[in-house]
Amino acid sequence: MVVAGLYFWLNQDLPQLPNNLQQINLSLPTEIYSSDGERIKILGERHPIALEDISPFFTKAITAVEDSRFYRHSGIDHRGLVRALWINIRKKRIAQGGSTITQQLSKNLFFSFERNWVRKIKELLIAFQLETTFNKDQILEAYCNQIYFGSGAYGVEEAAQVYFRKRARDLTLFQAALLAGLPNSPNNANPFSHYERAMRRTEYV
């Protein structure tokens, strides 16, 4: 009864999923103007693209490093969840999320980055809804279009432009591996400011 009541309370407060993930209103970019009114820079500009327009090197690299069981689980990786739960219990705080790509998409689209148990449970519920509403490729496409890569780049198309001056579909294996290593730590692994660390992360991917 208590569990059912808790589920009902949390479920009522969940955001409504769109009919199409492409309809999600991503954060608008910030435009910077000079004193005479001329636009000089755009921060956080996004260029959503279809999954087939992303280099397969990148999609394979990002799933390998962020969620190797992405195509085999239903939105929640129970192995990773148990491991993260054990670490969190030992540290008496939410130190590790064990998040799948679907959970990360849930968090990034609908929730703040505050770490608490209520938000984590809601994140899991939305992840389950995403998996039952959309197929894996649709989820991966949305994820690739909204994750942050550092240097003001949101989405793999913008990241490819910022770091390599090319389209996401044209990324080489090395370039794809470098970009795939950024979302986990976009500032610390940024090749512009931490080149050696970025190379180590790329080799890991």
Q: Which of 4-8, 141-145, 192-196 has the highest mean pLDDT?
A: 141-145
Distances (CA, A) of 50 to 22, 33, 140, 158: 10, 31, 10, 13
- Pick the residue with more confidence: 84 or 127? 127
What pLDDT digit, counting tens, does each position of 13-32 carry? Answer: 677 777 777 766 455 554 44
Amino acid 34: pLDDT: 46
- The predicted-structure confidence for 34-56, as pLDDT tens digits, reads as follows 455 554 445 556 788 999 999 99
Exposed, middle or buried, 159 (CB in 10 Å: 0-12/13-18/19+)?
buried
pLDDT score for 88: 60
Q: How do strand 39-43 and strand 30-33 relate by DSSP bridges?
A: antiparallel
Over 90: is that where the pLDDT of 120 sits? no
Cβ atoms of 105 and 142 closer than 8 Å = yes
Show the domains of the chain with their CATH numbers.
Answer: 51-204 (1.10.3810.10)
Residue 60 has pLDDT above 90, yes or no: yes
User: Which has the higher per-residue pLDDT, 39 or 184?
Assistant: 184
Q: Report the pLDDT value the prediction gives residue 125, as an integer from 0 to 100.
A: 86
| Whole-prediction pTM | 0.79
CA distance to 39, 40, 41, 73, per residue, from 36 (Å) = 9, 11, 14, 54
